Amino acid sequence: MSQTHFQGRFEVEFKYRLADRARFLAALLALNPEIMLEDNQEQDHYFDTPDEALAREGKSLVIRTMHPSGIQLWIVKGPGADRCEAVNISDADKATSMLHTMNYRQLLEINKRRSIYFVGPCHVTLDHLAGIGDFAELAIMTDDETRLPDFRQQLLMLADQLGLSPDTQEHRSYRTLCKQQMEETRTIQPEDATR
């Protein structure tokens, strides 16, 4: 497994909603990717200050745990769509406790089933979020901001190879999709209670 795929301060990423997970996986496996992991359960815990200062600045702070791989990460995204840094940590519970001590609070928990593959310099994730759907993310990380336009083109070419069309591109983050689902659930429940 090459950790260089996850090094850098910038990440170019395209996310696609999958109508046919099996067909996408067949197209991906036809490219003979390197497999990092398959079908890990991943929990993302999103934190912010009580006044949501990070969200106002376009930033996200996430503690991620993955099972059975045992990977634990501290992730900061933003500001801006391409800014992303992650570092391995050895104790997610201790990191969470430290955040609580500094008056951060958990705003959201996202659970997904994730597989990660490498195709050249690209990493491809295949995700399933219960109640939301299946997604493919194509990404490249770098410290060289000047290379971002070239990497965008590489990822779009890979998307085409994998049969992913622009009309299936999902521009909303998992955080946004999960929040929208929670709001819809809250709206539906009172109506159902009167039936």
- Which residues form the catalytic set? 46
Contact 44, 64 (CB under 8 A): yes
CA-closest candidate to residue 12, choices 132, 158, 145, 114 = 145
Cα–Cα distances in angstroms (integers) from residue 192 to residues 36, 51, 182, 185, 189, in the given order? 43, 33, 15, 10, 5
**DSSP 8-state symbol, 69:** T
The span from the first CA to the last CA of the chain, in angstroms, equals: 54
Say how far apart CA 153 and CA 112 lie, in whole Å: 28
Cα–Cα distances in angstroms (integers) from residue 66 to residues 61, 88, 195, in the given order? 17, 12, 40
CA-closest candidate to residue 7, choices 90, 121, 120 = 121
